[in-house]
Structures are given as structure tokens and as C-alpha cells.
Structure 1
Amino acid sequence: MRTALIEDWQGFLRSLATYTRIPLNIDWDSPQKHTPSVCFLPFVGVIVALLSAWPLLIGHWSAGLQALLMMLSAVLVTGAFHEDGLMDACDGLVGGWTPEQRLQIMKDSRVGSYGVLAGIFSFALKWWLLSQWLTEALWDGSQWSILAGWIVMHSVARWLPLLLMQSLSYVSQGQSKAQQMIQRLNLRAGLWWLASLVLVWLLVGSATVLELLVALILLGLVIGCYLKRRIGGYNGDTLGASEQLAELLVLFVLLGWSA
């Protein structure tokens, strides 16, 4: 049991070091076994949410300003990890003519017009949704419900990349660091996802959890079919894009929850 917990802790630290800019001293070449780090993505989302929720402490700020600073803080904590994936994915998926060309475009570090537009519209829509949700939630006077929803958004949005990993094949041109992180979940890793589900249930209740699951599965089916047709599977950039789309979807659900 102690060995398993140590492996879990090592996997969580690797996940935190990979998906955030939190400085951690990780020995990446260590032969020590660890639980697949990708399964801790929902809990990384919890950390990101807690670190970026500080604008909620300033009660006299407007909902729009709070939303903007919360989003900016989350981007700084993650190093725009998922936003970069969204922009690269849009450049490749829309700009390429063949699967090979689309994957090659995604490997290019430069951002094209499709990526810039995707980033602008995604950020603007997320800001508007978050502002609306904060405005409605503030009428209830419950700071806890706002923080709970922010945590849920960051945790649940990271479920979708895990779903795509289980249902599609990994495709990429050449070897990449992402390939070392991405893998199908084993039983123990699946239990950690289940633990994140329980956490979300405790925060928002069973009815909202059911809505989120149904919405994510439907979005996952659409994205999965699209990726299968365009590139034959998924890669790291498309996983980042899926996380960003899932954040928007969760905010839509939260708006209905707070209404």
C-alpha cells in the first residue's frame, strides 16, 4: 500500500510539473515506477483553479474584471499549455489538406491566422461566459458556489482529453515528449479519475454531474469523429484543444446551474 501511494505521489508531481509552470525538482530519468501522470490531470485542474481564484477575494471588483484576471492567472499558472494546443490544432486541422500535412503544421511552433482567430474567439467567449456566470452567482451572495464552480470547470474540462485517449489512437510525426506522457489508463489510474468524479459530485451535486457527463460525452463523440476523419486519431495539440472546448462547455452548464 505504501509503495502504491509513493507511485501515485510521483505520478501526481510529474503531472503537475508537466501541465503547469509550478517549479518542481523532478528527476525525469529516474527508473522509479510511478502511476501514469496523465490520470492526475483533473487534480492539476483543481490546483490551477485554487491558484487563479484570488480575484474573488476582491469583492468590490466587477464580475468582468474578476473573470479577466482569473483567466489570466490560470494561463500564467499553466503556461498557456492548453491554449497553445488549441491554436496549433486549429492551424493544422483547418489549414492542412492531408493528414500528414495537418500533423506537420501542428509541429510548427509558429502560429497562423486560424490559430490566432481561434485563440481570440475562445478567450473572448470564455470571458463572456465566465462574466455572466459570476454576475448571476454574485446575486446569490455565495462566494463558495463561485469557487466550487471554478474548480469544477478546471477539473471536469480535463476529463475530455482522458476520454479521447481511451477511444482514439495516438498519431504524430516522429517522436515527441507528449508521446511519453500520453497513454491509456490502467485500473489504478481509472480509480483516480473516479476520485475526481466524486470530488465534483461533492461540489455541485449529482444532477449537475450528470449534465456535465452527458454534455462531455456528446462533445467527445463530435470531436472524436472529426479527429478520426482529419488525422486518424489524436495528438498532444488536439488534446489541448479539447480541454479548451470543454472549459467553454462546462461554463455553459454552470450558467444553467446558477440560473
Structure 2
Amino acid sequence: MTAFWAALRFLTVLPAPGRRPLQAPALGRAVGYFPLVGVILGGLLAAANAAVTGVIAPDVRAVLVVGLGLALTGGLHFDGWLDTCDGLFGGHTPEERLRIMRDEHVGAFAVAGGGLLLLAKCAAVSNLVHPAATLVLASVLARWAVAVAIVALPYARTAGLGRAMKDHAGPREVGLATLFTVLVLVGVGMGLPAGREAVIRALVGALPAAAAVLYWARKRLPGLTGDVYGALVEAVETAVLLAGTSRWVGPL
């Protein structure tokens, strides 16, 4: 349970036992529980979305749900998305891109990328075919993708929280994260009405989005960074939400 609480403390602002700063080994072990935290976050968003459906306009409801997601994570992943947009699109060399991503200032690429991301998320949430299932799957698959990326791909920096996770996470954590993710996919696919369709939609969105972000980051940087991890979460979540709006004809 220590690793789970560490994951909850790191990825969210939700109350969890422990007040001491997270140590590197705990951060590494926490990686295996990232998708489980995704279940909690997605469940809270799904519950909030259901609570206000039919009470307020769909567009306003979507803004509230997306805003709640930002609040629950403390803007952690969104901040990484902004820094990654500035770095990957604004630098001319790998070293300069890494320096830009360290800069606390926000540039034009971050503003444009952040605005487009929020617009896409809000538009998608207001038009989801299977809202509850899609919100949960988006949160889980995004954090599973990060767990795999942390272990499978090189890290660009010599220090930082991302470095600590990279150094102390391994195949065990990826296996645990994958197990949790598969259980969620099977549970949603078998336990909810039209769950199989929702799962297929989610995978169609998540896998290409994760591959695209990681491919682009590896072309522009010597390795991944904590900011890229955050950008990966945002990209996969958004892709799953967008895929969840498609009006496919007939059962899958």
C-alpha cells in the first residue's frame, strides 16, 4: 500500500497518508500503481459528469469536468504539456529544447498548444457516446502509457523526479501497471452496456497517440523528461476522449 499511496500523492492532490517528501525508491515503486490512480481520477470525473448531466448545458458541463480534472491533478500533466510544446517546437538543438523546457516562462507554442488541448477536451467531453466508460478509460490508459514509457525509454536528464522514477522502476512495475489496465479494460468491456465498444474506441485513440508523442519526443530530444511524461498523459487522454465522440454505425 505504501507504493499506491505514493502514486496517489504524486499524481493527485487527493488526501493520502504520509507527509514526508517522496523518496526515489518510493517513486519508482509507485509507477506500477499509476493506472490504479487513473481509475480513481476517471471515476471521480465520471461521477461529476453524471451528476450535472441534464442540469446544465453540455458545453458548460464539459468545462466543469475538464476543470475538475486539472484541479484533481494540480495541473501536473498540463504543465508538462505546456513545457513540452515550447521545447519541442521552439528549440533548434536538443540541448536548447531541454533548456527551454526548464524555463518557467510560457511561450507562444505553450499558449497555442494548451488552448487547443483544452478546447479539444471540452468539445469531446460534451459529445461522448459513452461518457462514464470513456472518462475512466482515458485516465487509466494515459497513466499506463506513462508507466511503460518510464521503463522502456531512456531519460534525458541526470536528476529530477522523472530520473528518480526511471532509476527505480522496472519490469515489475510495468507488469503491475499492465495488469491493472487489463483488468479495467476487461471489467469495462464485460460489465458495462456497450462496454466493448467503449474499450475499442479508447484503444484506437490511445495507442496511436502514445506512439506519436513518444516518436516525436525521441526525434527531438536525447531522451524523455518529466515534462514529456506529463504531455503523454494529456495527449493520450485527449485522443481517447476524441475517439469516444465518434458515431460508429452498428455494434462492434
Tell me the distance in 1 between the aligned counterparts of 2:155 and 2:25: 25
Of 210, 216, 236 in structure 1, the residue corresponding to residue 226 of structure 2 is 236
Q: Which amino acid is the alignment partner of residue 162 of structure 1?
A: A
How far, CA to CA, are the matches of 1:70 and 1:254 in structure 2? 15
The aligned amino acid for 2:30 is: S
The residue number in structure 2 matching 1:64 is: 59
Equivalent positions of 1:21-32 (< 5 A) are: 21-24=13-16, 25-28=18-21
Structure 2 residue aligned with 1:78, among 73, 83, 86? Answer: 73
Separation (CA, whole Å) in 1 of partners of 2:49 and 2:199: 26
d(CA) in 2 for partners of 1:79, 1:177? 16
Q: Report matched runs for 1:129-208 at 5 Å.
A: 129-133=124-128, 137=129, 145-172=130-157, 174-183=158-167, 184-187=169-172, 189-204=174-189, 205-206=195-196, 208=198
Contact 2:6 2:26 in 1 (8 A): no
SS of 1:182 mapped into structure 2: helix
What corresponds to 2:36 in structure 1?
Answer: 43
Q: Which residue of 2 aligns with 1:15?
A: 7
Choose from 82, 86, 93 the match for 1:98. Answer: 93
Partner of 1:142: none
Q: 1:17 touches 1:26 (CA, 8 Å); kept in 2?
A: no
Distance of 1:221 and 1:20 partners within structure 2: 25
User: Which residue type is aligned with residue 9 of structure 2?
Assistant: A
Judged with a 3 Å threshold, the aligned counterparts in structure 2 of structure 1 residues 189 and 242 are, in CA distance, closer, same or farther, namely closer
Paired with 2:27 and 2:111, the residues of 1 have a C-alpha distance of: 37
SS at match of 1:109: coil
Provide structure 1 residue ranges, at least 5 long, that are not aligned to the other structure: 1-8, 138-144
User: Post-superposition shift, 1:75?
Assistant: 0.6
The whole-number CA distance in structure 2 between the counterparts of 1:220 and 1:61 is: 33
* Residue 255 of structure 1: aligned partner: 245
Q: Aligned pair in 2 of structure 1 residues 101, 33: CA closer, same or farther (>3 Å)?
A: closer
Measure the CA separation in 2 of the matches of 1:168 and 1:222: 14
Q: How big is the shift at 1:232?
A: 1.9
Amino acid at match of 1:92: G
Q: Which amino acid aligns with 2:4?
A: F
Query: Are residues 102 and 32 of structure 1, via their aligned partners in 2, closer, same or farther at CA, if it must alter by over 3 Å?
Result: closer
Unpaired segments of 5 or more residues in structure 2?
Answer: 190-194
Contact 1:129 1:252 in 2 (8 A): yes
- In the alignment, the residues of structure 2 paired with residue 241 and residue 203 of structure 1 have an alpha-carbon distance, to the nearest angstrom, of 26
Aligned residues: 240
Relative to structure 2, which stretch is displaced further, 218-227 or 23-32? Answer: 23-32
Amino acid at match of 1:191: L
Percent of pairs with identical residues? 27
Aligned AA (1:163)? V
Alignment of 1:209-248 (within 5 A): 209-210=199-200, 212-213=202-203, 215-248=205-238
Code of the aligned partner of 2:37? V
Q: 1:149 to 1:216 in 2, by over 3 A?
A: closer
